[in-house]
Amino acid sequence: MAELRTEEFVVNMGPHHPSTHGVCRLMLTMDGEIVTKIEPVIGYLHRSIEKICENRTYAQCVPLMDRVEYVTAMSCGYMFAGAVEKLGGIEVPLRAQYLRTIMLELNRIASHLLFYGVTAMDIGAYTPFLYGLRERELIIDLFEETCGQRLTYNYIRIGGVSQDIRPDFVPKCREALNVISAKMSDYTGLLNENPIWIHRTKGVGVLPADLAKAYGVSGPNLRASGVNYDIRRNDPYLLYDKFDWNVAVRPNGDCFDRYMLRLDEIMQSIRIVTQALDGLPDGEIMAKGVTVNYKAPAGEVYHRVENSRGELGVYIQSDGGKKPVRVKIRGGSYNSLMVLPHFATNRMIADLVAIFATLDVIMPEVDR
């Protein structure tokens, strides 16, 4: 009888694959059904945003920043505006800071609802996609009434925000948050007790905490591995140190914890927005003296924001002219994808899909 001969083969997953994480190509070396080596190949969405910013004035860079991470475009706009404000020492009025905090947290809730829908769809459950996007539409409607756009807002400008909220924003926002917090039991009820979901996510893809810290993983992926670090609390910006909220941490670091942690974060964000709406003061929404031809003084700064995918940071170097010398953007998904080959091997390819889905990677942050 002939000897059974096995050999490893290379399977190419991507750049176009059905999970809508953008265009990421993973070259998998497989031994049967087990993945032995992963090599991510990126650059399919490299739009050279950093090179474009070198030929734009500071105000012209702001709408471009929304495209870096379009699911949470408010954070991207704030990341850049906050960095320029640090360079120039601009004092942002209090009402603008409250509005910025509210918009950033609403955007975090919308992003996590999208994560919920898309992750469940990747692992095979199609119904949560419709549930998650239905509630997300409530928040998107609020954004559309305020700034006119559904996805790339261009709302947070250098020195403040671009327009004030409508008079019925506050009651509508409270109504939307009530609906979402009531529906959270629906979301967990659909998936958490489901034996298929539990088998596919519990104990799968454990990311050890020291590996996560070594590779610069941040945000919910880091907190799901037990590391209690949140930029909003450890290195506060905007008004996060004035509100009463908790940092969600989960101990295990498997796919189930990464998924549940984001649902916990939705509840904490609802707390922050409710407190911000209660304390919203009157006043100006834009700092004085900041015009559309603003020139930042010479210097360099690295400003970072806690995004729903991790630490979103921008490094700006300015020489006092109209245009920045260098803008370097750092996204949380970059490091999540960097650490993927180091902890997701030696398991089946279906587990790899679940791990990749719960890491919540968005490709333009990786490729810029």
Partner 1 sequence: MTREELAAYATEKFAGRLTPLATGKYDPLFLVNDAGDLLAVARALKEDPKLQLEYLCNAGAIDTGKIDPPDKRFEIHYSVASLQLSLRLDLKVVLPAGKPEVESLQPVWPAADWFEREFWELFGIHVRNHNHLGQFLLPDDWNQGFPMRKDWDAPDFVRMPEK
Partner 2 sequence: MGVIKKLPVYAEKIPGGSIVLTSLEALLHQGQAKSLWYLLFGTACCAIELMCTGASHYDFDRLGMIFRPTPRQSDLIIAAGTITKKMAPRLRRLYDQMAEPRYVIAMGGCTIKGGPFYYDCYAVEKGIDHIIPVDIYIPGCPPRPESLLEGCIHLQEKIKKQRLTDWQEK
132 near 117, Cβ under 8 Å?
A: yes
Q: Which range in 37-45, 95-103, 170-178, 292-300 contacts partner 2 by CB under 8 A?
A: 37-45
Q: Which range in 41-49, 101-109, 139-147, 276-284 contacts partner 1 by CB under 8 A?
A: 41-49
Cβ 128 to partner 2, closest distance in Å? 11
CA 179 to CA 168: how far, in whole Å?
17
CA 91 to CA 43: how far, in whole Å?
38
353 near 119, Cβ under 8 Å?
A: no
| Interface with partner 2, residue 204, by CB under 8 A | no
Q: Site map for partner 1, 53-92, x if CB under 8 A?
A: -xxx-----------------------------xx-x---
| Interface with partner 2, residue 23, by CB under 8 A | yes
| Interface with partner 2, residue 13, by CB under 8 A | no
Q: Whose Cβ is closer to partner 1: residue 113's or residue 340's?
A: 340
CA angle 216, 218, 222 (to 5 degrees): 105
| Interface with partner 1, residue 15, by CB under 8 A | no
Q: Which range in 66-74, 88-96, 212-220, 250-258 contacts partner 2 by CB under 8 A?
A: 66-74
Q: Whose Cβ is closer to partner 2: residue 46's or residue 326's?
A: 46
Number of residues that bind partner 2 (CB under 8 A): 38
| Interface with partner 2, residue 215, by CB under 8 A | no
Which residues, 279 to 298, sit near partner 1 by CB under 8 A? 298
CA distance to 35, 96, 128, 314, per residue, from 159 (Å): 49, 9, 39, 17
CA 165 to CA 174: how far, in whole Å?
14
The neighbouring-strand residues paired with 307 are 310
HEC readout, 215-246 = CCCCCHHHHCCCCCCCHHHHCCCCCHHHCCCC
| Interface with partner 2, residue 57, by CB under 8 A | no
Q: Whose Cβ is closer to partner 2: residue 44's or residue 169's?
A: 44
Q: Whose Cβ is closer to partner 2: residue 51's or residue 288's?
A: 51
- Is the preceding omega at residue 15 within 30 degrees of 0, hence cis? yes
Q: Nearest to residue 329, comparing CAs of 342, 317, 320, 337?
A: 317
Q: Whose Cβ is closer to partner 2: residue 129's or residue 315's?
A: 129
Residues with Cβ < 8 Å from 301, sequence gap 6 or more?
83, 86, 87, 315, 316
| Interface with partner 2, residue 331, by CB under 8 A | no
Cβ 64 to partner 2, closest distance in Å? 6
The neighbouring-strand residues paired with 310 are 307
| Interface with partner 2, residue 150, by CB under 8 A | yes
- Judged by the rule CB under 8 A, the positions of this chain that interact with partner 2 are 15-18, 20, 22-23, 43-48, 51-52, 54-56, 63-64, 67, 70-71, 114, 117-118, 129-130, 133-134, 136-137, 140, 150-152, 363-364
